[in-house]
Amino acid sequence: MTPPTGLGHGRKPLRQRHRGRWLRRLLGLALIGALIWLVGFGWFLALVAGERPITPMPHADGIVVLTGGSDRVKAGLELLMAGAAPRLLISGAGAGTYLGDFTPRDGINATAKAAGISLGHRATTTRGNAREAARWVIRYGMTSLIVVTADYHMPRALLELHRQMPQIRLLAEPVRPPAMVHLDHWRSLRLLAAEFGKYMLVRFRLGGFAAHHIEAHI
């Protein structure tokens, strides 16, 4: 039996209309997601740009340096030598690393303070740094901690540290690495975008999917 004229031709435009409607919805959601990301990234840029060392730095029970960037260890050693705190932890120093591997390079003779310096060898992530620091803080009964890391890394570092030891007062000592001197440079923006993504994962407690679960032994 021959179908009515035009019936077969009417179905194709209907499918196309449905497909077009879904594509428009997906495009709208993508644009909304992109707008939300841009607003959040702009907020993060302002946060990093506003990171400044506390002057004068209040006295604290300890200093923790999160390794992984230029001048962080030097800044921590300078704070220790200046008497900002009696103890220093260099977290994420890596297996087989010794204090002597840092001090000559940074031009600081910390021999007189060597008894107050600890090296954390197990941390490989920011969460690992926080765990190393938490166990070190408990060992010495600390209530306040100066945190030394790169300025762009500071928001995520403080978040991880606070979750591991919410009762500890954290004082930020951000270090601006050479890559962050010009925040509008393409390489700087790419680094900041990657860090913003990591920060959001930690903020929404999704960082565990990518983080290594380690136990620190200090």
pLDDT tens-digit readout, 10-36: 555 767 777 778 888 888 899 999 999
**Phi, psi of 175, deg, nearest 5:** -115, 130
| Token pair of 119 as six digits | 């090296």
> Considering the domain boundaries, does residue 117 fall inside one?
yes
Residue 146 C-alpha from the chain's centroid: 16
> Considering the domain boundaries, does residue 31 fall inside one?
no
pLDDT at position 218 is 39
> Considering the domain boundaries, does residue 175 fall inside one?
yes
Q: What is the mean pLDDT of each run of 10 residues along the chain (218 residues)?
A: 52 71 87 94 91 92 90 92 96 85 70 90 94 97 98 96 97 90 80 95 76 39
> Considering the domain boundaries, does residue 181 fall inside one?
yes
Q: Which CATH number covers residue 116?
A: 3.40.50.620
> Considering the domain boundaries, does residue 24 fall inside one?
no
> Considering the domain boundaries, does residue 162 fall inside one?
yes
Contact 86, 57 (CB under 8 A): no
> Considering the domain boundaries, does residue 189 fall inside one?
yes
pLDDT at position 206 is 83
Structural domain harbouring 141: 62-209
| Token pair of 117 as six digits | 């310096």
User: If residue 119 lies in a helix (H) or strand (E), which one and from where to where?
Assistant: strand 117-120
User: If residue 91 lies in a helix (H) or strand (E), which one and from where to where?
Assistant: strand 88-91
- The total of structural domains in the chain comes to 1
pLDDT at position 106 is 64
> Considering the domain boundaries, does residue 82 fall inside one?
yes
**Strand ordering across the sheet containing 144-150:** 117-120, 88-91, 62-66, 144-150, 169-175
